[in-house]
């Protein structure tokens, strides 16, 4: 008798054997991986942060609000304080809570110590070292930051160059006097930007930027570079085309930086001739040239690095400072009672028979509260400079892959009613005079609570915090002390925002100054 096996029975036995083998292999792999990974939380399977699905290829690009800080705040209300989304092919994560910010800026500070570099900047940097702002965390970055702090941004250096700031502030007051006498309106942003630019160049190499000719072109070039780096760029959303620079933004940055370098070349040659003749003022440029000459065994520091560092200091100092002063003036012009309160404090502390000095600032408690509140409600860098983790990380219980662009939405944190009360959206300087809040400062994320971070926190926090704080206080106090201010007849206040790397007002503030000091010579 011949036995013929059923094909169905054979197939069932084969499948059963295959399943048994698969389960055994899977179990063995599980045991091996578990032993290998141990209890390290970094390898625990964590989900990605929640967020909108978006469209194929484009992701969420068609749906974003141009005011990204508003858009990310809206997403946080739907998905929670850690949100992920794709903008084109780029994975982005937005953080909107102090606890999540702390994990990035303190607990895992080294992993998140790199900044995401805009495509236009990468195109310009191609073949050369990046600047202080965007350099990877490492020896070159440490050298540039150390140099900036030692030569210009520490407490002693800030005091040494105080006469330059005073000179430029008095020049501005004198120029505004002509408008005050005729009743002409003044562009506050234009005025403060020019003042700050002249302060910065004076502190860097001892000379102000001329108001005409090449000095004026230098100023315009700095402004244009800032604008180009802030502009929306398709290469940021689709890095595969970044090398082509499809919008030409990188090429325009490169051209402008070439012109800026030529201007700096003339400045450096002039400085070298002075140094060779024995005339030394020990300003920042002299220190940078000495560093280039001596060399640095840890990280080579070239003239190109020196130029980029100076452009960094000028670019970061001018736009953010002038924008903050403009916001403060706009808020006070919108509230005559608080404007009067600021004037009353200035009259009580300084009086009308001398000018404001930087040494007066600690006694101007209400002016200081106005500045803190301006930074809270209108942080100059609303999303900070985006961070980019160098390794797989975990934030808020979610997985954040290496290379992700991470935004810390300080604008949303600063307006969170759970942190700042029901009036979190209101401009109320008095909150910083109340018990407890008066100790909140610009450093370490607002008294280490990460609820107040206008200058960021951690390793990549703004190196110029002390300088920026000093100049904003001094400039605002000087403008308010020297003049009464009001809007032109028939004008209304616009409080809308224009998103960018720096959070500007949607329209420039135009205001009319009038004389308020007793002695005409105080305007000289």
Name 328's Cβ contacts closer than 8 Å, sequence gap at least 6.
370, 371, 374, 472, 476
Alpha carbon 227 to chain centroid, angstroms: 14
Which of helix, strand or coil describes residue 168? helix
Tracing tokens 């100023």 back to the chain, one arrives at 219
Q: Are strands 510-515 and 186-187 parallel, antiparallel or unpaired?
A: antiparallel
Token pair listed for 189: 């942003």
CA distance 432 to 224: 36
Phi (first) and psi of residue 10, to 5 degrees: -65, -40
Structure tokens at 355: 């000018």
Helix axes of 303-333 and 249-276: crossing angle, nearest 10 degrees: 110
Distance CA 307, CA 305 (A): 5
Structure-token pair, residue 109: 């500070």
Which fold is adopted by the domain 61-523?
Cytochrome p450 (1.10.630)
Q: Which two tokens stand for residue 418?
A: 């759970």
Radius of gyration of the chain (CA): 28
Contacts of 195 (CB under 8 A, 6+ apart): 168, 169, 171, 172, 322, 475
Q: Which residues contact 31 (CB under 8 A, 6 or more apart)?
A: none
Burial (0-12, 13-18, 19+ Cβ within 10 Å), 32: exposed
Q: By the 8 A CB rule, do 503 and 497 touch?
A: yes
Contact 247, 233 (CB under 8 A): yes
Which residue's structure tokens are 């990468």? 122
Q: How many whole angstroms separate alpha carbon 295 and alpha carbon 315? A: 26
Q: Residue 218: CB partners within 8 Å, gap ≥ 6? A: 209, 260, 263
Determine the angle formed by the axes of helices 336-349 and 365-377, rounding to 10 degrees.
140
pLDDT tens for the chain, 524 residues: list them. 333 333 333 434 444 444 454 454 455 545 554 555 544 444 458 999 999 999 999 999 999 998 999 999 999 999 999 999 999 999 999 999 999 999 999 999 999 999 999 999 999 988 788 888 899 999 889 888 988 888 888 899 899 889 999 999 999 999 999 999 999 999 999 999 999 999 999 999 988 886 666 777 887 888 888 888 878 899 999 999 999 999 999 999 999 999 999 999 999 999 999 888 877 777 889 888 888 888 766 667 889 989 999 999 998 889 899 999 999 999 999 999 999 999 999 999 999 999 999 999 999 999 999 999 999 999 999 999 999 999 999 999 999 999 999 999 999 999 999 999 999 999 999 999 987 676 677 655 555 689 999 999 999 999 999 999 999 999 999 999 999 999 999 888 888 888 877 888 988 899 999 999 988 899 98
Around Cβ 369, how many Cβ atoms within 10 Å? 23
Instruction: Answer positive or negative: Cα dihedral of 314, 315, 316, 321.
Output: positive
C-alpha dist (Å) from residue 305 to 120, 308, 318, 445, 462: 18, 5, 20, 29, 18
CA distance 256 to 210: 18
Phi/psi region, residue 514 (left: phi>0; alpha: psi -120 to 50; beta: rest), is beta
Task: Give the containing element (helix H, strand E) for 510.
Answer: strand 510-515
The CA distance from 72 to 384, in Å, is 13
Check: CB of residue 91 under 8 Å from CB of residue 405: yes
Angle at 88 between CA 85 and CA 92, to 5 degrees: 35
Whole-angstrom Cα distance, residue 242 to residue 224? 20
What is the rounded CA–CA span in Å between residue 125 and residue 253? 10
* 101-119 per-position pLDDT tens digit: 999 999 999 999 999 999 9
Return the residue matching tokens 């490492």: 138
**Residues 371-397: tens digit of each pLDDT:** 999 999 999 999 999 999 999 999 999
Q: Are 199 and 168 contacting, i.e. CB atoms less than 8 angstroms apart? A: yes
- Rounded to 5°, the CA angle 226-229-233 comes to 150
Decide: helix, strand or coil at residue 485: strand
Token pair listed for 428: 């109320």
- For 180, what's the count of Cα atoms within 13 Å in the CB-facing half-sphere? 19
């Amino acid at each position: 008798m011949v036995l013929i096996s059923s094909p169905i029975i054979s197939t069932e036995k084969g499948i059963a054997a295959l399943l048994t083998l698969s389960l055994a292999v899977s179990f063995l792999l599980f045991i091996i991986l578990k032993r290998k990974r141990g209890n390290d939380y970094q390898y625990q399977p964590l989900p990605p942060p929640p967020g909108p699905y978006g469209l194929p290829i484009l992701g969420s690009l068609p749906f974003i609000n141009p005011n990204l800080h508003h858009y990310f705040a809206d997403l946080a209300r739907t998905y929670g304080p850690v949100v992920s989304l794709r903008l084109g092919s780029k994975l982005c994560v937005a953080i909107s809570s102090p606890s999540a910010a702390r994990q990035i800026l303190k607990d895992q500070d080294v992993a998140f110590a790199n900044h995401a570099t805009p495509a236009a900047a990468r195109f310009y940097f191609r073949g050369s070292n990046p600047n202080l702002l965007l350099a990877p965390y490492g020896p070159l970055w440490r050298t540039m930051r150390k140099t900036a702090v030692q030569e210009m941004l520490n407490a002693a250096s800030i005091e040494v160059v105080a006469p330059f700031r005073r000179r430029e502030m008095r020049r501005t007051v004198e120029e505004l006097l002509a408008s005050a006498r005729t009743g002409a309106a003044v562009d506050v942003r234009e005025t403060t930007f020019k003042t700050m630019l002249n302060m910065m160049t004076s502190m860097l190499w001892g000379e102000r930027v001329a108001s005409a000719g090449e000095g004026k072109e230098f100023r315009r070039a700095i402004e244009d570079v800032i604008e180009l780096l802030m502009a929306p760029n398709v290469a940021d959303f689709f890095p595969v085309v970044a090398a082509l620079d499809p919008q030409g933004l990188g090429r325009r940055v490169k051209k402008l930086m070439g012109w800026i370098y030529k201007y700096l070349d003339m400045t450096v040659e002039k400085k070298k001739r002075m140094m060779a003749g024995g005339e030394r003022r020990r300003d920042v440029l002299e220190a940078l040239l000495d560093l280039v000459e001596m060399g640095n065994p840890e990280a080579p520091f070239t003239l190109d690095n020196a130029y980029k560092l100076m452009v960094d200091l000028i670019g970061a100092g001018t736009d953010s400072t002038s924008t903050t002063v403009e916001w403060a003036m706009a808020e006070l012009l919108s509230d005559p009672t608080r404007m009067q309160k600021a004037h009353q404090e200035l009259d009580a502390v300084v009086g009308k028979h001398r000018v404001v000095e930087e040494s007066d600032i600690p006694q101007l408690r209400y002016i200081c509260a106005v500045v803190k509140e301006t930074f809270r409600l209108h942080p100059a860098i609303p999303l900070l400079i985006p961070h980019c983790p160098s390794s797989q990380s975990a934030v808020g219980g979610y997985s954040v892959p290496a290379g992700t662009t991470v935004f810390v939405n300080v604008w949303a944190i600063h307006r969170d009613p759970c942190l700042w009360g029901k009036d979190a959206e209101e401009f109320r300087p008095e909150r910083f005079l109340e018990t407890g809040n008066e100790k909140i400062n610009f450093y370490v994320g607002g008294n280490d609570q990460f609820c107040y971070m206008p200058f960021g926190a951690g390793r990549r926090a703004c190196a110029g915090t002390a300088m920026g704080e000093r100049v904003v206080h001094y400039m605002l106090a000087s403008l308010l002390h020297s003049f009464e201010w009001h809007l032109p007849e028939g004008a209304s206040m616009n409080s809308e925002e224009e998103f960018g790397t720096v959070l500007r007002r949607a329209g420039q503030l135009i205001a009319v100054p009038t004389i308020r000091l007793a002695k005409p010579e105080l305007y000289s």
